[in-house]
Structure 1
Amino acid sequence: MKNPNPDPKARYEVPVWNQDVKLYEDYQVGEIDRSLRRTVSEGEVMLFNSLVLDMHPYVGDDIWAREEGLFKRRLVPGAMVFSYGLGLFAHNNVNTFSYGYDKLRFIKPTFIGDTIYGMRTLLEKTPKYETMGLFRVSYEIFRADNEELVLYTEHLQTVLYRTSQAENIAAEEKGK
């Protein structure tokens, strides 16, 4: 078989698939994105539980959950719902960096076999550092079968500027 891309140097000149290069100025407060859906399987839950050493009866013991648990079935660990919910929005923007999370709340239970999806909203953006601004983005994760909100959090991210901080501050002030 002939290699259609034999030159390693030329391969690296091709843009990376699904790489996002948006900068601070490219985002608008109020932007909303909806994710794909995904179903959480029992195998994934057990793998997650074993990796993070979470064997609480609500997430690891089917008999206990059915017979003694409040919900009468096993739950998906909250940390997993958080990871999967935000992972549905994962992108390869090389210009954004996680700064932290605020207001993480597990609103309703998520069960094995549930299908989840999310909504992401850019709540605010603020010039912060010489080379980067700060975003606050909300994530709402829903159970697809009944549209119940199961998780809410706000993600703080730094994002590189296209222009200088002084220009961004002036633009923000002009917009007020």
Structure 2
Amino acid sequence: MFITKYFEEFAIGDVRHTYGRTITETDIVVHAGQSGDFFPHHMDEEWCKTQPFKKRIAHGTLIFTVAVGLTADHINDVSMTYGYEKLRFIKPVFINDTIKVTVTIQDKKDHKRPDHGLVTELVECFNQHNELVMRCEHILLVKKQAA
């Protein structure tokens, strides 16, 4: 869905929630192939039984990618991603865990381009037990309305 939402229309504290997405073994195998990350934490069930979590964990980069994808439910034609900051993987995500994301508008500030501003979204990813598993800040470069 396409929308037009200018810098001035973002309000600090606004929150939106995504639907859930279950992480599968296929997700992990495909991500390993695409990223080249075949560490045993993700790929070796028997080795993982000797480790603290006792089972395979999803790649942090996979969870980040899926979480960002879950937030992409609309395209704002006057906004683009400027970057991500403060990415943290707080708890492991396992095969068959379902994740969902909460996005909260955290900050707004002017940009060096006077016709644009920066909007910071707090992106929090939760598992099916409502435990925080990942968080980061998504910074958007957003056009200001014409004066």
TM-score band, normalised by shorter chain: over 0.9
Report the equivalent of 1:14: none
Give RMSD over aligned pairs. Answer: 1.1
Which ranges of 4 or more aligned residues in structure 1 deviate by more than 3 Å? Answer: none
Q: Which has the higher helix share?
A: 1
Q: Which has the higher strand share?
A: 2
Report the equivalent of 2:45: 62
Report the equivalent of 1:82: 64
Q: Aligned runs of 1:129-148 on 2, under 5 Å?
A: 129-144=113-128, 146-148=129-131
TM-score, normalized by length of structure 1? 0.79
Higher mean alpha-carbon deviation, 109-118 vs 121-130, is at 121-130
Which residue identity is paired with 2:110? P
Distance 1:94 1:57 in 2: 42
Residues paired across the two proteins, number = 145
TM-score, normalized by length of structure 2? 0.94
Q: Aligned runs of 1:3-152 on 2, under 5 Å?
A: 18-66=1-49, 68-90=50-72, 91-128=74-111, 129-144=113-128, 146-152=129-135
Q: Report % sequence identity.
A: 32
Distance 1:55 1:30 in 2: 39
| Structure 2 alignment gaps of length 5 or more | none
Greater relative contact order structure (CA < 8 Å, 6+ sep): 2
Shift of 1:163: 2.6
Q: SS of the counterpart of 2:82?
A: strand
Structure ID, larger Rg: 1
| Structure 1 alignment gaps of length 5 or more | 1-17, 165-176
Distance 2:95 2:116 in 1: 40
Distance 1:24 1:156 in 2: 12
